[in-house]
Every structure is written in structure tokens, then in C-alpha cells.
Chain A
């Protein structure tokens, strides 16, 4: 087999596409951080904005963050996967173009149409606004998500085709033949291919479920007499949402597999535990979503038990394979620290630490008193803000500097500000959740204000640090290399 022909050519168009993703990604991330900090400031009573506008900001923050996390994660996956399989730059750009169309529709729905049903568009709320937003506004939001979903679906289908062409099937690209084969495992399969295959499988299925529920929501918007089962819709929405947001981290972690060995000089090879872990996580990520529905007593008992048990099991691949593997890889390796590596290692801490309160929340007894409190944004901000974001930043900074980063005092100050303020920001949520403070309240009772105020101060510092890091990345964008 001619493996060179299977790789993607490093064309100027491909480089430009990657740079576009980074530039747009940084801009959207920062804007959505501003929106999130603004919502926290409204809760703290420091920003006098009426509740209906606050919920628009909340909707924008949620939809924008999920979307840009998906795009940035896909950029990291595309960047590394194209070294092993032939990916289409045109399809990569199509995803971006369709996503931008979707973004415009969503911005119109919120900014003009006053849509404020939350990014989870929980049926039948989009159709029941109490006169705040209209049918067309809800349809624009839902339609925007459809455009974004179609863009991602095309990208993942392109990846799937490329993987099948190179490895024969997704089963082989996931390494299942090596996992269940006899004798020593053939380690020639790159970890990037295994992780990408997992993401392709789960996200194609997740997006298809999302497409179904989005179309059902659109039908209900324009033909209200056609109503659907609220529990079925909830299951579809949370399956789609859970899979999509989890996939963002599993795409970004490809950067860890590729970059950490370049610092340590120790290759990251697949093994049976590695393959078993990715096979397990493929199933777990799709089957665990009922842990979002533990307080829906109409759910069957087996489903909520599955949700609790798989929540616990989902931590094992994260902690014992990827995080543990990275720590083993760097342990006494004699590496030299720089900003990209600091960010990547910190991201692994954020991911590993963040799954702890998430797993605990997945216990039904705990969920009974902590579901939909600020415990939930506490744990997901931990592994997204302190996990996903530095993972993406570290990977993209490396792509722009090829490990030749000249670290400055400003870099170190930004890194530590981001890390410490980010942890304070997340703990402000967790402490509030421990104290029962509800999530998604635009107006907070007096007893809860101190949590929101601490959170707002920390969010402001995180934003400042993120601006510095984002600008540092933008400044190096012209030096981006597709073979870093």
C-alpha cells in the first residue's frame, strides 16, 4: 500500500483553511466568554440587564460555546488525522461555511427574534415562549443548528470514508481486530486514528439523532397539532448533546497523543489496554446519556441504573489510559517546559479533576439533591474551560510554533492567571451547587449573590488571560505549519 498517497497534501489552501479555523475559533471563543461572564455578572446584580435579555445571553453562550468547541476540536482532529489519511480540504471548509450560516441564523434568532429557550432547545419550549419570541425565531435557531449539524456530518463522513479507504473498515481503524487478535498487538496503528474513528462513529450517530429531533421540533413549530412525546424528545436531545460535547474533548485529546511525545522523546504507542479503552469509551459515551435524565421518573429503571453505572465507568478510560498515559510519558523524561506543553498538561488536570464531581453527580442519590444546581456548570466548566480550552490552545500554539516557542513573562502570567482564576471560577459554581443554588437563574436571591460575585470576578480574570493567550496565538498564525 502506498501510504504517502493516503496522506493529505500540504497545500496552501489546506494551510489557509486551518488558519481560518484558528482565527474564527479564537474570536468566537472570546466573544462567548464575554457572554458567559456577562450572564454571571447579571446573576451577581452587577450588570443591570432584564431577565429576558439575560436568558438570550445564556442561550447564545451555550450554543456558541458548544459550536465553537466542536469546530476547534474538529480542527485539531483534521490537523493530525490528515497525516495518516486523505482528508478533503473542501469538506473541511464546507463544515466551516455551513457553520457560519448556522451562526448567522442563530444570532438572528436571538438578537432579532428574541429567542431564549437555551441551547438545549428542550421540547416543547421553543414553541411555547409566552409571547417572547415567535415561531420564525425558534425555527431560525433550530434551522441554524441543522446547518451546523449538516456541516459536521459532511466532515465526519469525509473522515469515515478516508479511514475506510486507508484501513479497510472503521472496525479496523478502531483497532478492534488488533484488540481481539492473538499474539503481541501490532502497534503500527496511530493513536490519532483510533481516537478519530471513535469520534467519527459516535458523532455521526449523535448528529443523526440531533437531526431527527431538530426536524421534529421544526414540524411542531409550524404544525402545533403534530405533538411528540416529551420524554422521547428529551432522550434524543440529550443523546445528541451529550455525544457532541463529549466528542469535542475526544477530538482535542488527539493533540495530547501527538504533541507530548515530541517533548519527551517517548513515542505514544497503542496497546491492548489503549484499544480496549477506546472501544469501551465508544460505547459508553453513547450509552451513558440517561445520567442527564435521572430525575425523570418516567424513565425505566434499567436506563437510570445504566446511567449511573456507566457514568462511573466512563472515568476509567479518561483517568487510567489518557491522563495516566500522559503522566507516565512525561515522568522523568527530561523535557523542557514551554507554554504549549504547560497548557496541554494543565488541560489533562482540568479534564481528570472535572470528571470527579461529574461522576459523583451521576449517582442517583446525589442527583436527587444536586441535579440542575450550579454543581452541573461547576463540573462541566472544569473539564471544558480548564480541560478542553487549554488542550485546544496548547495544540494550536504548537501547530504554529513547532515546539520553538519563546516563552515570555507575559506567557507565564497569562497561564497562571488562566489556571488559578479558572479554578476559582469553577469552584464558585461547585460551592454554590453544594449549597443548592439553582443553575440557569438570571435573577439570584440575596443569599446566593456572593457565589455569583466571586464567579464574575474570576471570569473577568479568565477573560483577560484568554485574550492575551488568544492574541499570542493569532500573532503566530502566519507561522502555522501543517506538519508541526
Chain B
């Protein structure tokens, strides 16, 4: 998903840059009929509008029809393992830290003090999933760990001056 987001951003930002460069390059040249330019501009704007609306409808259905986050505001599959975690400044109190690969794990997250973010990393460069840990609420996050290894938990909501040090590890062992 991160790669798709990055690629789409680059493509559309580059397209915008190309349009700007094209217009800017010709802006100083001798004026043509301003009315004709305005008419042509309106025509293309109207076309673009409907293309963007149609794309938006398609994107919305494609990304929301199957609800993207199991357990969030929708029925969720029955998990194999439930892990309850409570966030404290600046540590995680987790009732279990080892699961087997392939298991559907449900994290039930809350906070004893302030807002925290519960983000699971495969390594330093791959964020697997996240949710917020809030005082007074329990957020349920379902993750199926397919690869064994140690997954680091980082706090992704600023929670005070040792925010960066608030970490835990979920150990995923090869399934039997």
C-alpha cells in the first residue's frame, strides 16, 4: 500500500509540474485571443471535472466496499488470539507478547492516561497496521502475521517527552 501511495503521488505531482511548466513556458509569448483561451479552458475544466468525479466514485467504491479495517465499525472475524494492551506514559502493558504465524490476532487497545498510537512495524521501514489507544475507549485492531519474526510496536501519537522511547515487541513464531 505504501508503494502504491508513493507511486500515485509521484505520478500526479509530476503531471501537475508538467502542466505548470508548459503554461509558464508560454506565458510570456505574444497574446492570442483571450476569449478563445478562456473558452477552451472552460471546456477542458468541465471535462476534467467529470473525469475526476467519475474517478472519485470508482475509488470510493474500490476502497470502501470491503470495509478496510476489520473490527472497526463493522463485524469482524473471530480472532485466534486476543491480546489486551494498555498504554501508559511511556510503556505498553501487554498481556501476551508471543503469537504464531498465520494466527488472526486481535489487539484490544486502551490507554490509562493520554492518547497514544499503537503501530506495528515489521522492521524499521514497514508499518504493518496501527490504531489509536485512547483513554476511555477500547479500539480493536486485527492483524494476521504471515511472517515469523519480531515486530516492534511504536507509539505514533505524541504523548510526552519520552514518546519516542515507548516501545514493545510482538514475537511471531513459526506455526506448528
Which of under 10, 10 to 19, 20 to 34, or 35 or more describes the interface residues of B? Answer: 35 or more
A130 & B161 in contact (Cβ 8 Å cutoff): yes
CB distance from A55 to the nearest CB of B (A): 5
**Do A128 and B161 have beta carbons less than 8 Å apart?**
no
The reply to whether B114 and A298 contact each other, CB–CB distance below 8 Å, is no
Which residue of A231, A327, A335, A442 is within 8 Å of B19 (Cβ)? A327
- Please report which residues of chain B, range 1-57, place their CB below 8 angstroms from some CB of chain A when the two chains form the complex: 1-6, 8-9, 12-13, 16-17, 19-20, 23-24, 26-32, 34, 37-38, 41, 45, 48-49, 52-53, 56
Residue of A nearest to B162 (CB): A51
Question: Which of chain B's residues have a CB closer than 8 A to the CB of A370?
Answer: 1-2, 5, 127
Q: Which of these, B5, B48, B113, B117, contacts A295 with CB under 8 Å? A: B117
CB–CB B136/A369 < 8 A: no
B170 at the interface (CB under 8 A from A): no
Complex: how many Å from CA A336 to CA B8? Answer: 34
Which listed residue (B74, B127, B136, B164) contacts A441, Cβ 8 A?
A: B164
The answer, among B20, B73, B161, for a CB contact under 8 Å with A304, is B73
Q: A333-B27, A337-B28 are in contact. Are A371 and B156 (CB under 8 A)?
A: yes
**A436 pairs with B126, CB closer than 8 A:** yes
Q: Which residues of A contact B72 (CB under 8 A)?
A: 297, 301, 304
Closest chain A residue, CB of each to CB of B67 = A301
Is A435 among interface residues, defined by CB-CB distance under 8 A?
Answer: yes
Minimum CB–CB distance for A363 against chain B, Å: 5
Nearest CB of B to A210, in Å: 18
- Please report the C-alpha to C-alpha distance between residue A125 and residue B117 in the assembled complex, in whole angstroms: 14
Of the residues A116, A301, A313, contact of B74 by C-beta under 8 Å: A301
Contact across chains for B27 and A124 when beta carbons are under 8 A apart: no
Contact (Cβ within 8 A) A441 B137: no
Please tell me if the beta carbons of B45 and A273 are within 8 angstroms of each other in the complex: yes
Residues of A within 8 A of B165 (CB): 443
Best-buried of B27, B31, B136, B163 by chain A (most CB within 10 Å): B27
A128 touches B160 (CB 8 A): yes
**B105 contacts the other chain (CB 8 A):** no
The residue from A130, A266, A296 contacting B132, defined by CB atoms under 8 A apart: A296
CA of A79 to CA of B131, assembled, Å:
44
A330 / chain B contacts, CB cutoff of 8 Å = 23-24, 27
CB distance from B122 to the nearest CB of A (A): 9
Q: How far is the CA of A313 from the CA of B115 in the complex (A)?
A: 29
- Known: A129-B160, A298-B139, A366-B1. Contact between A309 and B60, CB under 8 A? yes
Separation of A67 and B113 alpha carbons in the complex (Å): 29
Instruction: Give chain B nearest CB distance to A236 CB in angstroms.
Output: 14
Given the known inter-chain contacts A316-B52, A365-B63, please indicate yes or no for A333 contacting B34, CB distance below 8 A: yes
In the complex, chain A residues whose CB is within 8 Å of the CB of B140: 297
Q: Using Cβ atoms and an 8 Å threshold, which residues of chain A touch B30?
A: 332, 334
In the assembled complex, A122 has its CB within 8 A of some CB on chain B? yes
Chain A positions within 8 Å of B174 at CB level = none
- In the complex, which of the residues B13, B134, B135, B141 has the most CB atoms of chain A within 10 Å of its own CB atom? B13
Q: Does B68 contact A (CB under 8 A)?
A: yes
Q: How large is the interface on A (under 10, 10 to 19, 20 to 34, 35 or more residues)?
A: 35 or more
Which of A117, A230, A436, A444 is within 8 Å of B127, CB to CB?
Answer: A436
The answer to whether B124 touches A124, judged by C-beta atoms less than 8 angstroms apart, is: no
Smallest CB–CB gap between A232 and chain B, Å? 10
B 52-80 binary contact with A (CB < 8 Å = 1; else 0): 11001001100110011101111000000
Q: Is the CB of A124 within 8 A of B2?
A: no
User: For the complex, what is the distance from the CA of A331 to the CA of B164, rounded to whole Å?
Assistant: 49
How many angstroms between the C-alpha atoms of A273 and B131 in the bound complex? 39
A138 to B26, CA, bound (A): 54
Are A356 and B13 interface neighbours, CB within 8 A?
Answer: yes
A300 touches B73 (CB 8 A): yes
Q: Is the CB of A332 within 8 A of B9?
A: no
Residue in contact with B160 in the complex, picked from A132, A332, A345, A369, CB distance below 8 Å:
A132
Instruction: Tell whether A332 pairs with B31 under 8 Å between CB atoms, given A122-B157, A308-B64.
Output: yes
A369 to B69, alpha carbons, bound, how many Å? 11
A332–B29 touching, CB < 8 Å: yes
Which residues of A lie under 8 Å from residue B29 when comparing CB positions?
332, 334
Interface residue A97 (Cβ < 8 Å from any Cβ of B): no
The residue of chain A having its C-beta at the shortest distance from the C-beta of B72 within the complex is A297
Q: Are A345 and B20 in contact (CB under 8 A)?
A: yes
* Nearest Cβ on chain B to A139's Cβ, whole angstroms: 17
With a cutoff of 8 Å between Cβ atoms, the chain A residues found around residue B2 in the complex are: 369-370, 434-436
The 8 A CB mask of A432-469 against B (1 = contact, 0 = none) is: 00111011111111011000000000000000000000
Of all chain B residues, the one with the shortest Cβ separation from A379 is B9
Which residues does chain B contribute within 8 Å of A46, judged by CB atoms? none
- Pick the contact of A297: B34, B141, B154 (CB < 8 A): B141
- Whole-angstrom distance between the Cβ of B125 and the nearest chain A Cβ: 5
B93 beta carbon closer than 8 Å to chain A: no
For B162, the chain A residues whose CB sits under 8 A away are: 51, 130
Q: Flag if A55 contacts B161 (CB, 8 Å).
A: yes
Alpha-carbon distance A257/B74, docked complex (angstroms)? 46
Across-interface contacts of A448 in B (CB, < 8 A): 124
Q: B129: nearest residue on chain A (CB-CB)?
A: A368
Distance in Å from the Cβ of B104 to the closest Cβ of chain A?
16
Identify 10 residue pairs between A and B in the complex whose beta-carbon atoms are under 8 Å apart, listed by A's number.
A130-B90, A305-B64, A330-B27, A331-B26, A332-B27, A356-B16, A366-B4, A371-B130, A438-B154, A444-B164
Residues of B within 8 A of A (CB): 1-6, 8-9, 12-13, 16-17, 19-20, 23-24, 26-32, 34, 37-38, 41, 45, 48-49, 52-53, 56, 59-60, 63-64, 67-69, 71-74, 89-90, 113-115, 117, 119, 121, 124-132, 134-137, 139-141, 154, 156-165
Closest 5 A/B residue pairs (Cβ): A301-B73, A328-B41, A447-B124, A436-B127, A372-B156
* Extra pairs beyond A117-B158, A295-B131 (4, CB < 8 Å): A55-B163, A230-B137, A300-B73, A308-B64
